[in-house]
Structure 1
Amino acid sequence: MRARIAAIGLVLLAALGVGTASAAAPAGEQGIGGSRLDRILHRGEVRVCSTGDYRPFTYRDPATGEWSGIDIDMAGDLATRLGVRLTLVQTTWGTLLDDLGRRCDLSVGGISVTLHRATRAFYSEPYLRDGKTPITRCENADRLATLEQIDQPGVRVIVNPGGTNEQFVGTHLERATIVRHPDNNTIFAEIIAGRADLMITDAVEARWQAKRLPELCAVHPDEPFTFSEKAYLLPRGDTVLQEWVDQWLHLARNDGTYDRFARPWLG
């Protein structure tokens, strides 16, 4: 009877995705420990997904293929502390969850903590507090500051599909015109060119883009519309890898590593 109960329990755990970190091990890595962490160490490589389109966290130059950003530097530090090589894998906001575990061991790049994502993946401990705020041409900053001002007929709100920006405007705006633009690297140029009036994005991105593009102003980034946090995304069920990443991140945030990488971008 006990054996039967134990077997039923294992079936239920598998159905919930708990304790099954090694179930999706690719050919050649099966039987190597119970955690993806063991497989990373065995292959001598950590595969990290990132969208490459969300500065200051992640950017991949379309001309050269070179990566940069705070979280790209952090991924390099993670690999160094593991003693393995880093392989960066480009993903999109729409395929972020599908690629995790299948193409990469973890995902980085300004990823907001959401309950939806938490149903399919684990998060590391948060490393940054943030929230949604408008960014617009500076002459429009006063008249496009509140959701009531923004959600008006004729106001064009540009958004990159697949992430929390699109979720926010879909939830909060009913009368404004939503303009979907697939390339987050060029989306701010659309506002400057007058093809959109504003974008609602994370305050840290709004600040950085306003610093880079003097035509644009971040609107009340210190008082955003929402509360959110940034963290790294990990395969669901792998508590061993999650605990190692949490410990590494805790040390990096307190020994000056994170500040050293963030300072050139955030000041």
Structure 2
Amino acid sequence: MNRLKIMVASTLLTLTTLLAPAAKAQEAVDTVAQIKEAGVLKVGMADSVPAQQKNPVTGEWEGFNVDMAKNLAEVLEVKLEIVDTTWSTIIPSLVQKQFDIAMVDMFRTPARAVTVDFTDSYMTTGNTWLVGADVDVTDWKQLNDPKYSAVSIAGMAAVAQSDRLLPEAQKKVIVSDNAVAGQLEVAAGRASAHLSDLLQNALFMKANPNAKVKVLGADAPIEATGYSYAVRPGDYHFHAFLNTWIAYTNTTGFISQTKLKWYGIE
């Protein structure tokens, strides 16, 4: 009998060990349920005109992703709370649960995906090089020379991309909450070039027609990729819900209408 009891106990222990991972997986947090229970959707945002920025007069957030966040909160039937952050801290702040989702014009890259989960892309775009008007190049590859300097904003995907595309050029990384700080560095002659989203560069030139800058390859953006929203890893329900919501806003035309409103293009 003692031997039988030992065998039964051993079997139960084995089953418990095997079932433990499954039980742990079932205990995964459900952000959708938490948001509904709290009655508030917390969204992290960092300045980037016209995707999301604070109105200098009212101090209120506005822009493409602000309208998207408002729509998402309406779908969830909760209030919207926008949490101020910066490009250099937005991912760490998301991981530290300071907000539920990062809704900015963020490129979905493998380096970032190591830390966070990305939704499906809500918009596809690509980068172009903004250079000083006196920079004597016609192709961005000519910038790969020690006599030229490329400026990037800390926290942006363009930091690593600039290093990879222009390994021979001088590099300058600045910390700033101003989304067009890189463009301003070039316009002021403190850097030769800045790699940024083609929409951002086009809008900067439109807003600053007298700036001594030009865009290289506007008709052929570099490594076109998608803008996506970021969430904490492992919350499969929230992730699936967001992808369904993005697909729905595309189908109904809400994304194209909002893009036309803020970017001037569909």
What TM-score, normalized to structure 1? 0.84
How many residues align? The count is: 246
Does residue 232 (structure 1) correspond to residue 225 (structure 2)? The answer is no
- Computed over aligned residues only, the root mean square deviation of the Cα atoms, in angstroms, reads 2.2
The residue number in structure 2 matching 1:5 is 18
- Corresponding residue SS for 1:110: strand
The residue number in structure 1 matching 2:7 is none
Q: Is the 8 A contact 2:44 2:94 kept in 1?
A: yes
The residue number in structure 1 matching 2:87 is 93
User: What is the one-letter code of the residue matched to 1:182?
Assistant: V
- Corresponding residue SS for 2:107: coil
Deviation at 1:208, TM superposition (A): 2.0
Gapped runs of 5+ residues in structure 2? Answer: 1-13
Query: What's the % identity of the aligned pairs?
Result: 23
The residue number in structure 2 matching 1:213 is 208
Gapped runs of 5+ residues in structure 1? Answer: 23-34
Q: Is the 8 A contact 1:21 1:236 kept in 2?
A: no
- Please, which moves more after superposition, 234-243 or 166-175? 166-175
Q: Is the 8 A contact 1:19 1:237 kept in 2?
A: no
Rounded Cα–Cα distance in structure 1 between residues aligned with 2:149 and 2:58 = 33
Deviation at 1:77, TM superposition (A): 0.9
Alignment counterpart, residue 114 of structure 1, candidates 109, 114, 123: 109
Deviation at 1:64, TM superposition (A): 5.0
The residue number in structure 2 matching 1:81 is 75
Rounded Cα–Cα distance in structure 2 between residues aligned with 1:130 and 1:119 = 22
Deviation at 1:90, TM superposition (A): 1.8
Cα offsets for 1:26-50 (capped at 9, x unmatched): xxxxxxxxx0110101111000011
Deviation at 1:60, TM superposition (A): 2.6
Q: Is the 8 A contact 1:46 1:79 kept in 2?
A: yes
Rounded Cα–Cα distance in structure 2 between residues aligned with 1:248 and 1:130 = 20
Rounded Cα–Cα distance in structure 2 between residues aligned with 1:121 and 1:76 = 22
Cα offsets for 1:180-212 (capped at 9, x unmatched): 222234332222221222201122222222222
Q: Is the 8 A contact 2:180 2:204 kept in 1?
A: no
The residue number in structure 2 matching 1:200 is 195
Rounded Cα–Cα distance in structure 2 between residues aligned with 1:94 and 1:235 = 17
Q: Which has the larger radius of gyration?
A: 2
Alignment counterpart, residue 46 of structure 2, candidates 24, 42, 51: 51
The residue number in structure 2 matching 1:67 is 61
- Please, which moves more after superposition, 65-74 or 178-187? 178-187
Rounded Cα–Cα distance in structure 2 between residues aligned with 1:49 and 1:113 = 16
The residue number in structure 1 matching 2:183 is 188
Q: Is the 8 A contact 1:135 1:198 kept in 2?
A: yes
User: What is the one-letter code of the residue matched to 1:55?
Assistant: V
Deviation at 1:96, TM superposition (A): 2.2
**Shift in alpha-carbon separation, 1:63–1:191, aligned structure 2, 3 A:** farther
Deviation at 1:150, TM superposition (A): 0.7
Rounded Cα–Cα distance in structure 2 between residues aligned with 1:60 and 1:133 = 25
- Please, which moves more after superposition, 223-232 or 42-51? 223-232
- Corresponding residue SS for 1:109: strand
